[in-house]
Amino acid sequence: MQMYMDGSGFTTKASELLIVSLPAMPHTRIDIRTLSPEALESWFTEQGQQRFRAKQVYEWLWKKSAHAFAEMTNLSKELRATLEESFVIQGIQVASIQKSTDRTIKTAFKLHDGPVVEGVLIPTSSRMTACISSQIGCSLTCKFCATGKLKLLRNLDAAEIYDQVVAIRRQSEENYNIPLSNIVYMGMGEPLLNYKNVLGSIEKITSPEGLGMSPQRITVSTAGISKMIRKLGDDEVKFNLALSLHAANDEKRSKIMPINDTNTLDALAESLQYFYDKTGTRPTLEYIIFRDFNDSLDDARDLAAFVKRVPSKVNIIEYNPIDDGEFQRASDEQLNRFTAFLEQKGVIVNVRRSRGRDIDAACGQLANKNISAENVLKKADA
């Protein structure tokens, strides 16, 4: 028989030990959308449920974009209650909506833990484009970008990115009766610094078990992280890639984009060529044109020379000033002269006109007036 010595020196039979129950630890419910199909199936098996139930729930989450278990009407009430006890769905919420005179719609999205990110529906005569965010804030501090003036709080997870697309797609259909046609990862944050979640969101958006959109209608934009561009090539991604170039010589580019100090134009040219060789997809070079900074014919000549190094096309983008006024928009005359020079050199070039400028929804302006969205949220939470 086992005997135990207590603190007083007396011995006690094991059978006489008093068993004290510790208080149960609170059960932390996890977001069900973080589970893989295999993990979801395993959970249902452990619950004594048939495996096909996992497929039903997965379809509700990613194809039908359900934000509540009560919506899953082909499940029994008992099973829905069990799901509710075990999991949460941390969907984003629409905090505020602004509509531009040019029909652009900007939405502030509140996340489950409180912060706000912004997304934009950009309607044109030929397409309906969702511009979505990948991070809360940004760490890259580009001088011309409002988001770059915000502290990076965290990465968005794949479901939070996916939810923006779902919400903006709904806006496109409800406001204009036209389906969403394109998605650009050009909102808040640097997508390639949130690589896993960005690619995870694209998988859910493009999968037949998800939204079923073509990856060729998706463009991921990067400020230029060479090793991650090469990783995109290694992963043989099917979506499009855009590089925020904005200057085609290192001295100028480093002045406005500190990331260039560690990712020079030579390194970027090599990584873009690698990406093209691996995927067969011609990257786009984005070039915001600033008055008296990068709008001269010498700048155009540098850009044309860079294009020769990489199979690519160029988007010239009108600048949209932010609050500090450090940079200004180039004149139409200079923009036309710049574009004409590139075309003479055989460069494929398009001019992207500003959209949503009056509601701070244009390129580089997201989060410029984010404090107004925060005020809306404070009132909503009061």
Indicate which residue of 209, 236, 363, 374 is catalytic. 363
Which of 118, 160, 190, 286 is an active site residue?
118
Task: For residue 363, indicate whether it is catalytic.
Answer: yes
Report how far residue 3's alpha carbon sits from residue 100's, in angstroms, rounded to the nearest whole number: 80
Supply the angle between the helices 297-309 and 332-344 in degrees, to the nearest 10.
40
Alpha-helical segments (H) within the chain: 37-46, 52-62, 77-86, 158-176, 195-206, 226-234, 250-256, 265-279, 297-309, 332-344, 370-381
CB 288 within 8 A of CB 278: no
* Helix locations, 155-313, DSSP H: 158-176, 195-206, 226-234, 250-256, 265-279, 297-309
**Residues in CB range of 92: below 8 A, 6 or more apart:** 109, 110, 111, 112, 160, 163, 164, 167
End-to-end CA distance of the chain: 63
Q: Is 118 a catalytic residue?
A: yes
The residues annotated as belonging to the active site are 118, 363
